[in-house]
Amino acid sequence: MASARIVTLAANTMREAIRSRVLYTLLFFAVVLIGTSVLLATLTYVEGHRILQSVGFAAIRLFGAAIAIFVGIGLIHREVERRTIYTILSKPISRAEFLLGKYLGLVATIWLQVAIMGLAFAAVSLLTGAPLNVQIGIALGLAAVELALVVAFATVFSSFTTPLLAALFTTGIYAIGHLSRDLRDFGANSESESIRLAAQILYRILPDLESFNFTTQALHALPIPSNEAVLALVYGIGYSALLLLLGVVVFERRDFK
Amino acid sequence: MRRAAKEIVRVEGLVKDFRVGLGVRRKRVLEGISFCVREGEIFGFVGPNGAGKTTTLKVLMGLIRPSDGTARILGHDVRETEFRRHVGFLPENPYFYEFLTGREILGFYARLSGLAGRRIPERVEMLLDWVGLSHAADARLRTYSKGMLQRIGIAQALVHDPSVVFLDEPMSGLDPIGRKEIRDLILRLHGEGKTVFMNTHILSDVELVCDRVAIIVRGAIRYEGCIAEFLDAGELATDLVFGRLPASLAVSLEERFGPLRGQGGRLELRVPDKAVHEVLGLALSADAQVVSVTPHRASLESIFLSAVEGSAEAVAGKAS
């Protein structure tokens, strides 16, 4: 069954990541940064808890993105380069199943990392008496959806180019994704109709990664409207699915020389 | 004699062009090749380096898309995937996930091949034993030697008990003991009724294990047929050794068949098969002493080389 094969590939991708040292190095630095936020918080007399949690939250999001990019960019390329793909595709597995299995395996790995970093964040908060609320949980969940989208970009780039180029493209998309709302606003304020239209089109095509950012609500215990959270979830899943579809189309045409 | 019946592999007019440079120019690697492999045979796909052997095999394994023509295995287009549960593949110099152990990698491939979960442990243990790797089952693959990787490669190709197995240069880079082990494994597969397709350029292995061969040179098939027929197709000759040979006869034989070679008071002459009776008659009537008559079969190597050289001459002819 296709689903069983996808699960087998995903589980193996997870096992590979878990047994690699790069991941632990990144995770170690993230947890250390979350821990040192306690020190940063002591430097101020006001809003110490907020500084602590801001640093912790930023560490989770940034290191999550770093893991997604650095592991994701070699995801497919490494299989081709090391020729491990030869024996896998000679089994009853379609290329689409292969791509999906690898993608889901990496997403599961990254979500596990986010969960570990989230636990470290919660532990530091509890130890220092900083407040924990449900918004923090929702915001972390949506940050995880954002990372799944970043992994989808890395997977697609990895399916047809080298890790270096894939890293450049994915990092570029990550940066642009956090600025695309500014682009839209810039276009909206323009007097030129063509600039307004171009900015609108670009905003529609490029990912809007800020739509997953609920850090302010989480740290200030402000309500997160359920429609916004659901919309972000649907947007993340839909965009990732479209990207993977594009990746499959490209991957199907490739020759493994 | 081994009998083969239905066609397991059928390749018709297969063409493969690769893009070169920026993708504007194209290089033709396969020039519309056709051949078939029949059930239960060991088929040798032979050719010099760069002839198109691995490209053909990769097309059959769905790793490279053909530019034109068709390739079918067990009646299915090679672009399909489900039929691959009946197909095993060992690539040249196989690479596997080094972070897995021998037992884990076989379990992984068994699950990918759709083997029922309860059957996997038993099948994996059986194959580890079969390829002689039970002692290294729990060692990571990064600690395996080349020969061990080749054997785990064969085990993964067989983990789902396929009916047809494709092997790309299975003996390359192995020491004589390793080569013999792989040869024995191939013969054992054949004994179990499996069809084996083997890419190789080691002709002695082909002569030892293959039933039929196809020779590919510069992307074109030069010969396809049974090994025995193939060898018979070469020019046959017979070596005659004389203990005593009258001078007048020696001169006339040398004029017709080339120089006599002398060794230890004996004279040796190679004559075409069809002239053996005539020369023997002449020798006996001239009271010569015939020491031995040895039919000389053309070796696979000499025929292979003439096929390659013939191709090179054809290319040179086209160029001029």
Q: How many CB atoms lie within 10 A of CB A108?
A: 16
Residue written as token pair 């002709």: B203
Q: How many whole angstroms separate alpha carbon A201 and alpha carbon A197?
A: 6
pLDDT at B243: 85
Tell which of B178, B211, B232 closes a domain: B232
In a domain, B175, yes or no: yes
pLDDT at B315: 47
- Give the domain extent around B265: 237-296
Tell which of B232, B260, B279 closes a domain: B232
Computed over every residue of chain A, the mean pLDDT equals 88
Query: pLDDT tens, A56-92?
Result: 888 888 888 988 898 888 888 888 888 899 999 999 9
CATH number at residue B190: 3.40.50.300
pLDDT higher than 70, residue A110: yes
Q: How many whole angstroms separate alpha carbon A165 and alpha carbon A149?
A: 18
Give the residue with greater pLDDT, B300 vs A187.
A187
Per-residue pLDDT averaged across A97-119, rounded? 92
Spatial contact of A132 and A50, defined as CB atoms under 8 Å apart: no
Q: How many whole angstroms separate alpha carbon B217 and alpha carbon B70?
A: 20
Question: Does residue B170 sit in the same domain as residue B220?
Answer: yes
Spatial contact of B154 and B162, defined as CB atoms under 8 Å apart: no
In a domain, B54, yes or no: yes
In a domain, B274, yes or no: yes
Question: Does residue B151 sit in the same domain as residue B260?
Answer: no
Question: Does residue B33 sit in the same domain as residue B80?
Answer: yes
End-to-end CA distance of chain B: 46
Residue written as token pair 């839909």: A238
Q: Three-state secondary structure along chain B?
A: CCCCCCEEEEEEEEEEEEEECCCCEEEEEEEEEEEEEECCCEEEEECCCCCCHHHHHHHHCCCCCCCEEEEEECCEECCCCHHHHHEEEECCCCCCCCCCEHHHHHHHHHHHCCCCHHHHHHHHHHHHHHCCCHHHCCCEHHHCCHHHHHHHHHHHHHCCCCCEEEEECCCCCCCHHHHHHHHHHHHHHHHCCCEEEEEECCHHHHHHHCCEEEEEECCEEEEEEEHHHHHHCCCCEEEEEEEECCHHHHHHHHHHHCCCEEECCEEEEEEEHHHHHHHHHHHHHCCCEEEEEEEECCCHHHHHHHHHHHHHHHHHHHHC
Nearest to B63 among A89, A91, A92 (CB): A89
In a domain, B256, yes or no: yes
* ipTM, 2 dp: 0.83
Q: How many whole angstroms separate alpha carbon A177 and alpha carbon A208?
A: 5
Per-residue pLDDT averaged across A118-126, rounded? 87
Distance from CA of A76 to the nearest CA of B (A): 13
Q: What is the number of domains present in chain B?
A: 2
| Alpha-carbon distances of B162 from A72, B86, B114, B158, B194, rounded to whole Å | 34, 4, 12, 6, 8
In a domain, B69, yes or no: yes
Question: Does residue B43 sit in the same domain as residue B83?
Answer: yes
Report the b/e string of B99-111 with b at 16+ CB within 10 A: bbbbbbbbbbbbb
Query: CB contacts < 8 Å between A and B, how many?
Result: 86
Question: Does residue B202 sit in the same domain as residue B279?
Answer: no
pLDDT at B15: 95
Contact call for B64 and A257, based on CB within 8 A: yes
Nearest to B91 among A4, A15, A86 (CB): A86
Contact call for B114 and A1, based on CB within 8 A: yes
Question: Does residue B42 sit in the same domain as residue B82?
Answer: yes
Contact call for B95 and A82, based on CB within 8 A: yes
What is the per-residue DSSP string for A91-105? SS--HHHHHHHHHHH
pLDDT at A105: 94
Question: Does residue B178 sit in the same domain as residue B45?
Answer: yes
To test the contact with chain B by mutation, choose from A5, A15, A90, A257 the residue with the greatest count of B C-beta atoms within 10 A, namely A90
Q: How many whole angstroms separate alpha carbon B23 and alpha carbon B17?
A: 11
Ramachandran sector of residue B68 (left: φ over 0; alpha: ψ -120 to 50; beta: rest)? beta
Among A37-46, A158-167, B236-245, B263-272, whose mean pLDDT is lowest?
A: A37-46
CATH number at residue B261: 3.30.70
Q: How many whole angstroms separate alpha carbon A163 and alpha carbon A76?
A: 9
In this prediction, residue A183 has a pLDDT band, given cuts at 50, 70 and 90, of: confident
Question: Does residue B39 sit in the same domain as residue B172?
Answer: yes
To test the contact with chain B by mutation, choose from A91, A95, A102, A254 the residue with the greatest count of B C-beta atoms within 10 A, namely A91
Question: Does residue B211 sit in the same domain as residue B275?
Answer: no
In a domain, B276, yes or no: yes
Q: How many whole angstroms separate alpha carbon A252 and alpha carbon A244?
A: 12
Query: pLDDT tens, A217-231?
Result: 888 888 889 899 999
What is the per-residue DSSP string for A167-194? HHHHHHHHHHHHHHHHHHHHHHH-S-HH
Low pLDDT (below 50) residues in chain B: 1-4, 315, 318-320
Tell which of B195, B216, B232 closes a domain: B232
In a domain, B125, yes or no: no
Question: Does residue B212 sit in the same domain as residue B172?
Answer: yes
Question: Does residue B227 sit in the same domain as residue B263?
Answer: no
Residue B261 one-letter amino acid: R
pLDDT at B4: 45
pLDDT at B260: 85
Question: Does residue B153 sit in the same domain as residue B259?
Answer: no
pLDDT at A200: 86
Q: How many CB atoms lie within 10 A of CB A56?
A: 29
Q: How many CB atoms lie within 10 A of CB B13?
A: 14
In a domain, B253, yes or no: yes
Distance from CA of B163 to the nearest CA of A (A): 13
pLDDT at B235: 60
